[in-house]
Chains A and B, each alone.
Chain A
């Protein structure tokens, strides 16, 4: 099972590929939309890529609750 740090690093890689986010800017307290400029469609791409990378199932209804990188890390760690 992945640790929180591993998931943050993995998400940073995904964010760089999907939305051109600088990996150094990615940390748990950052908001996807406010701080990292990830729009709703990029967020869906991040979710699809994260499911593949971490083997977690992230339901449609859950996506809106993932406001910060930390929210996503917690969900992935608990569900993969």
Chain B
């Protein structure tokens, strides 16, 4: 049966236990804590040891599922947003389904790099509205450390590992949708490239910075407008954690209260498709966002791609 909308029931996240500080990186490449903090905003990040993308996705999904009150048997759709999984088949979504004991669900991976979670959430929302699914696991998971050139100081100081997950369900009849209309698109460019066999992330930093600085505010404002929410009324703002120098001006530009902006990049680095659900899950865990309040998600990155929507905090 089709539904008039979907809502997020719960979030969960996972970060590897190994902390890598800026001083640790300064031992490996010609960089320093002052530069990284002032240009990117990162103090430390988490890097996986033996965990795979599917392991991290599974841990995050398990927590989200437990918090949602549903069980694995309820889930009929699994979408994993990732650009760093090495294993192609079974895809990460099937591996997660297997770990959690989800049987018979539609399961696929989606790659739009750093905007992946917002794309995946929109796909789940659309599937639920169309009646093709009722309860979805939507996951962003990355092990960027395995596609990072650890001798390239322009990228290795930025990227990190982690996962975040959401349980998304059909709204009841007459209930207000909790996932707002998506604003998405692309602007093809190889400014962020992960190409070829055994690839590394290669990035034209200034070009990406300029694109994000110009585009993200437009996506953010359009998503708010479509949802009918004024930026000043947002209870949370979780842009992709790319660079503090991108997200703080973005919040200022669109008129969001700086107090509701997630700055998880400071302690987690840039985890691409995982950054939005990871950051929001942590904000909720710390009690920083009120249940039911509107939260703006804006993803942007490789492709170049972008996507954003306003969601109701579970």
Chain A contacts to B: CB under 8 angstroms = 17-18, 39-41, 44-45, 47-48, 51, 60
Contact indicator A41/B245 (Cβ below 8 Å): yes
Given the known inter-chain contacts A39-B39, A41-B39, please indicate yes or no for A60 contacting B210, CB distance below 8 A.
yes
- In the complex, whether B104 has a CB less than 8 A from a CB of chain A is no
Given the known inter-chain contacts A44-B213, A45-B213, A48-B213, please indicate yes or no for A18 contacting B207, CB distance below 8 A.
no
A interface footprint on B194-213 (CB within 8 Å = 1, 0 otherwise):
00000000000011011001
Q: Tell me the complex Cα distance, A60–B209, Å.
A: 11
Q: Tell me the complex Cα distance, A45–B138, Å.
A: 34
Q: Tell me the complex Cα distance, A44–B249, Å.
A: 12
**Chain B residue total in the interface (Cβ 8 A):** 11
- In the complex, whether B232 has a CB less than 8 A from a CB of chain A is no
Cβ-defined partner of A48 (8 Å) among B39, B207, B210: B210
User: Nearest Cβ distance between residue B51 and chain A, in whole angstroms?
Assistant: 32
Chain B contacts to A: CB under 8 angstroms = 38-39, 206-207, 209-210, 213-214, 245, 249, 252
Given the known inter-chain contacts A18-B249, A45-B249, please indicate yes or no for A40 contacting B206, CB distance below 8 A.
yes
Contact indicator B213/A60 (Cβ below 8 Å): no
User: Nearest Cβ distance between residue B142 and chain A, in whole angstroms?
Assistant: 24
User: Nearest Cβ distance between residue A5 and chain B, in whole angstroms?
Assistant: 26
Q: Tell me the complex Cα distance, A48–B216, Å.
A: 12
